[in-house]
Chain A
Amino acid sequence: AQKITQTQPGMFVQEKEAVTLDCTYDTSDQSYGLFWYKQPSSGEMIFLIYQGSYDEQNATEGRYSLNFQKARKSANLVISASQLGDSAMYFCAMRVQGAQKLVFGQGTRLTINP
C-alpha cells in the first residue's frame, strides 16, 4: 500500500525566508508521481508542483522547488522568499503507476509571519 507522511503539523516562518516542508513516501512501485497542493483558508486545493519517479532533475515552478531524494523516499517542498500569501495548508500526494487516485499526507499548516 502507498503511504505519505508529513511529520510537521505546523510551521512558522518569517516573511522572505525560505521554508522546507517535509514529505516522505512509501511504495514498492518503481513508477510513481509526487504532487504538492496548497489549501488556503478559503478551502480550494491548488496544484503547485509535480515530480515523476524517473525524473532526473528536481522539479521547479517559480518560487517552488521539489527536493527529490529517491533513495530516501523523500519529496520535500522548498518555498523560496516566502510571502504572507503562502500561509496555508500544504499537502503532499502520490500517484502510482496504473492507479489514478492520489494518496495524500495529513498536511502541514504553514504560517508566514510579517
Chain B
Amino acid sequence: DSGVTQTPKHLITATGQRVTLRCSPRSGDLSVYWYQQSLDQGLQFLIQYYNGEERAKGNILERFSAQQFPDLHSELNLSSLELGDSALYFCASSVPTGNNEQFFGPGTRLTVL
C-alpha cells in the first residue's frame, strides 16, 4: 500500500457526461500528480499541483481540469466525455526533497460507453 488513496476504483459513464476523480496524497506529501494510462498513449502526465497551486501541465485536454484543496486532496474533473477518454487514471504524490520518487495510488478505471 503506497499510502495514496483514490476513489472511486471503477467508474462507468456515458459519452457527454462529467465525472470527478478524487485523490488523497500520502501524509506529508505536498505534491499531487495526475497521469492517464491508455492502451494507445501509454502513461501520460496530465497535471501537477504543489500545496494548492498548479505547478506543471502536460497533455491535459481543455475538457479536463483539476484542483488541490487546502487539506491537500485533489480532484480531477473530466467533462464532455468521449469514448477515447476511457483509461486508467492515476494520482501520485511525492515529497519535495530527496529523490522525489512518486508514489502512485491504485488508480481509477474510467469506462465511457
Q: Is the CB of A101 within 8 A of B45?
A: yes
* Residue from the list A35, A44, A95, A106 in contact with B107, Cβ < 8 A: A44
**Least Cβ–Cβ distance between A76 and chain B, in angstroms:** 19
Interface residues of B in 45-65 (CB under 8 A from A): 45, 48, 50, 55-56, 58
Q: Does A43 contact B (CB under 8 A)?
A: yes
- B-side contacts of A52, CB under 8 Å: 99
* Residue from the list B42, B48, B101 in contact with A35, Cβ < 8 A: B101
* Residue from the list B50, B102, B109 in contact with A102, Cβ < 8 A: B102
Q: Is the CB of B42 within 8 A of A107?
A: yes
- A-side contacts of B97, CB under 8 Å: none
Distance of A50 Cα from B101 Cα, bound (Å): 8
- A-side contacts of B44, CB under 8 Å: 104
**Least Cβ–Cβ distance between A101 and chain B, in angstroms:** 4
- Majority secondary structure, B binding face: strand
Interface residues of A in 33-63 (CB under 8 A from B): 33, 35, 37, 42-47, 50, 52
A interface footprint on B20-33 (CB within 8 Å = 1, 0 otherwise): 00000000000101
- B-side contacts of A103, CB under 8 Å: 45
The chain A residue sitting closest to B90, CB to CB, is A45
- A-side contacts of B2, CB under 8 Å: 44, 46-47
- A-side contacts of B35, CB under 8 Å: 102
Q: Is the CB of B104 within 8 A of A101?
A: no
**Least Cβ–Cβ distance between A89 and chain B, in angstroms:** 10
Q: Does A90 contact B (CB under 8 A)?
A: no
Distance of A91 Cα from B88 Cα, bound (Å): 15
Given A52-B99, A100-B50, A100-B94: 19 more A-B contacts, CB < 8 Å: A33-B100, A35-B101, A43-B107, A44-B106, A44-B107, A45-B90, A45-B92, A46-B104, A50-B101, A93-B43, A99-B56, A100-B48, A100-B55, A101-B33, A101-B45, A101-B58, A104-B43, A104-B44, A105-B42
**Residues of A with Cβ closer than 8 Å to B?**
33, 35, 37, 42-47, 50, 52, 91, 93, 95, 99-107
**Residues of B with Cβ closer than 8 Å to A?**
2, 31, 33, 35, 42-45, 48, 50, 55-56, 58, 88, 90, 92, 94, 99-107, 109
